[in-house]
Amino acid sequence: MKGTADPSDSRNGIVLRDRAVRLFKFLRELARLRRRIVRDLFEYERVVWFHDMPEYKGCFSILGLESDTSQDTTWLEVRKSPEPKRPPIPTACQRWLEDTDEDNPEAEPKLRDEIPTRTSHTPGYELNLHPQDEASTPPVERLSDHPEILEKWDRWKQDYWRPWLEAHSRWKAADDIYCKLFSMHQQMKKLAERYELLLGLGLLTWETPNNQVIRRHIVVGDAYLTFDANKAKFELQAAPEGVKLHFEPEMIDQNYLPPLNQQKEFESMLGLVQESPWNKDETDKILRSFIHSISPQGVYSDSLSPPDRPPKAPTITFAPALILRQRTQRSQIQCLSSIIDQISKGGNIPSGIEILCEEPEQVEDSDESKENAGTQITDGTLYLPLPTNEEQEQILYQIKSQHGILVQGPPGTGKSHTIANIICHLLAQGKRVLVTSQTPRALKVLKEKIPTEMSALCVTLLGNDQAARQELEESVSGINQKYSDWNPVQNQRLITRLEEHLYELRKDKANKERLLREQREIDTYHHEVAGGNYKGTAQQIAQRVAAEESKFAWLEDTIENDESCPLSNDEFRELLRLYRNLPEEYSLELKKELVNRELIPDMALFIRLIDDEKKTKQALSECESQRGSL
């Protein structure tokens, strides 16, 4: 456990170490309280027993007669097989066949003792009723009168039905296991972070004196299930990281467990064969020793089948099984116990734990911090490849000055987006970043958000399966390849070119921000025009002019903004004086409605109309004189 502080044997160091130990003990006990003890394995999601594997084509078990446990790496193999077709019933026996249960194809067919007699003129099953007496009993045929039918039936059952029934039973057992493995694989594929797949050995069955029923394996190890969809084949093997067999005695009360030193001895024995679960001799010896240390009545059986009911005496049966269950907090408890042991033995205490233990003034810079101090970029630049906002930038600023920060938020609020930006920013500063999560799914979401250029610098481990290990190897090999291809001179030229481009972008951004700021200042500047009659921003003055447009629409404004006034101040005062001294009749005339200028004809038209009027009046006068002379 790598730490940053080196507490001395002084009083402060002893107090700090004691607080750290008590902190992790509290976390361990809290994890134990949240852990639900399962005493019956049938409460698990799925259980597949090895003894249920039939001897059928497409099925293989490492415990089979033809298996070599020292060489085989596959524990189980199950292929999907077609259902055997049911043999057809002899034609002569079909009339005598009883109705069968269609839901149970393995139900044994039977013949009736008697059937109605067929009529001589109509095929089928019509009855030969006597029209004189409809209530009379119809004639029947008895099976005992047809020994040839019984002989054919017995021969068919012996030669066809019973071989088919045996083959169908084995097929059904194999198909049931195939369906169970399919369900297990689907659940592991969808919710791998929630479930774990285990191999169980040594089934403890016991009805304890306090009436607790225990039916659970005492030894478990990690298993790995693969599915070939093209071949419709499942294979069960050891997990890529190893089987790691270990004891799980938490379902047994402490009063019945052997002493602690003896438990550690059993764990040491199991550690020697933890990658060899099918070493039957060694495994039997460990399981037999364990059950004999629990009770003088303890019994061990190397049978592959579990007992029908829990006995009064504690009994361990080899009975291997494949188990799918929800993940427990066992690994978390073991990790906390290991930390407690290391700190108690004088291990260094990390600076983050020192802060939680209320001794922040004693925290010293770690070697990693000193190492990164020389490469840290201090120009205040935030290297964020993804869009960001002020809150996300504030998180980065706090990281520089705080030992740790907590960011909370419901799903969809941008936490993964922010973490991706933080990773890229810290990597750009030459720092190392470790990202962990309780579930691989969260890490996969985060990986998709990191740009491709940055993900090439990341060592990725997103699970415990073979695909995750392969991805880890590819990421490490990619980093090694980049390291071997590194050209300092060429990369320095690229850095210089990018810095110049970044400078130009920042300059262009500053100019645009300046223009935008000036435009905003124009919009917000306070103006006074028309001798102070119009005050406010340009927008406010424009709104007022628009509101008063109907009042001053008759006055055509043809004056440009840059034109000067044609009258001086004295001339304008004189014009105003003359206007005020106008006689009343002139004032009334000026207030009259003006004719629209567009309706006034031009000069030539006006003269022509006057001439036409004169000619018309003269013609009218001549007509009136002639009418008076008549």
Residue 543 φ then ψ, to 5°: -65, -40
Is the pLDDT at 118 greater than 50, yes or no? Answer: yes
Question: Between residues 11 and 529, which one has the greater pLDDT?
Answer: 529
Using DSSP's 3-state secondary structure scheme, residue 613 falls into helix
**Side chain identity, residue 329:** Q
Using DSSP's 3-state secondary structure scheme, residue 220 falls into strand
- pLDDT computed for residue 373 by the predictor: 43
Helix 330-344 / helix 11-33 crossing angle, nearest 10 deg: 170
Q: pLDDT tens, 423-461?
A: 888 888 888 888 888 777 778 888 888 887 777 677 777
- pLDDT computed for residue 228 by the predictor: 92
- pLDDT computed for residue 623 by the predictor: 86
- pLDDT computed for residue 433 by the predictor: 86
Question: Between residues 244 and 403, which one has the greater pLDDT?
Answer: 244
CB atoms closer than 10 angstroms to residue 151: 10
Q: pLDDT tens, 354-373?
A: 777 764 454 444 444 444 44
Per-residue CA distances from 431 to 104, 130, 355, 372, 487 (Å):
67, 105, 22, 6, 21
> How many percent of the chain have pLDDT more than 70?
86
- pLDDT computed for residue 629 by the predictor: 63
Residue with tokens 């659970």: 216
Least confident of 13-22, 61-70, 385-394, 586-595: 61-70
Is the pLDDT at 1 greater than 70, yes or no? Answer: no
Which residues sit opposite 61 in a β-bridge? 76
- pLDDT computed for residue 316 by the predictor: 95
- pLDDT computed for residue 171 by the predictor: 93
Mean pLDDT of the chain: 82
Q: pLDDT tens, 165-183?
A: 999 999 999 999 999 999 9
Least confident of 25-39, 350-364, 559-573: 350-364
Q: pLDDT tens, 582-610?
A: 888 888 887 787 777 777 888 888 888 88
Answer whether 156's CB lies under 8 Å from 90's CB: yes
Question: CA angle, 534 as apex, 530 and 537 as ends, to 5°?
Answer: 125
Answer whether 191's CB lies under 8 Å from 463's CB: no
Is the pLDDT at 4 greater than 50, yes or no? Answer: no
- Strand ranges for 229-384 from DSSP E: 233-238, 246-247, 299-301, 315-317, 321-326
Judged on CB neighbours under 10 Å (0-12, 13-18, 19+), 418 is buried
- pLDDT computed for residue 302 by the predictor: 92
- pLDDT computed for residue 162 by the predictor: 92
Q: How many residues does the chain have?
A: 630
Q: pLDDT tens, 124-163?
A: 444 444 454 445 556 888 888 888 989 999 999 999 999 9
Is the pLDDT at 283 greater than 70, yes or no? Answer: yes
pLDDT grade for 255, boundaries at 50, 70 and 90: confident
Q: What is the average pLDDT across 49-64?
A: 90
- pLDDT computed for residue 15 by the predictor: 83
pLDDT grade for 418, boundaries at 50, 70 and 90: confident
Closest CA to 318 of 260, 266, 279: 279
Q: What is the average pLDDT across 504-512?
A: 89
pLDDT grade for 122, boundaries at 50, 70 and 90: very low
- pLDDT computed for residue 69 by the predictor: 64
Residues 6+ apart with CB under 8 A from 218: 201, 202, 203, 204, 247, 248, 249, 287, 290, 316
- pLDDT computed for residue 163 by the predictor: 92
Q: pLDDT tens, 459-499?
A: 777 666 666 677 777 777 777 777 777 788 888 888 889 88
Which residues sit opposite 220 in a β-bridge? 200, 246
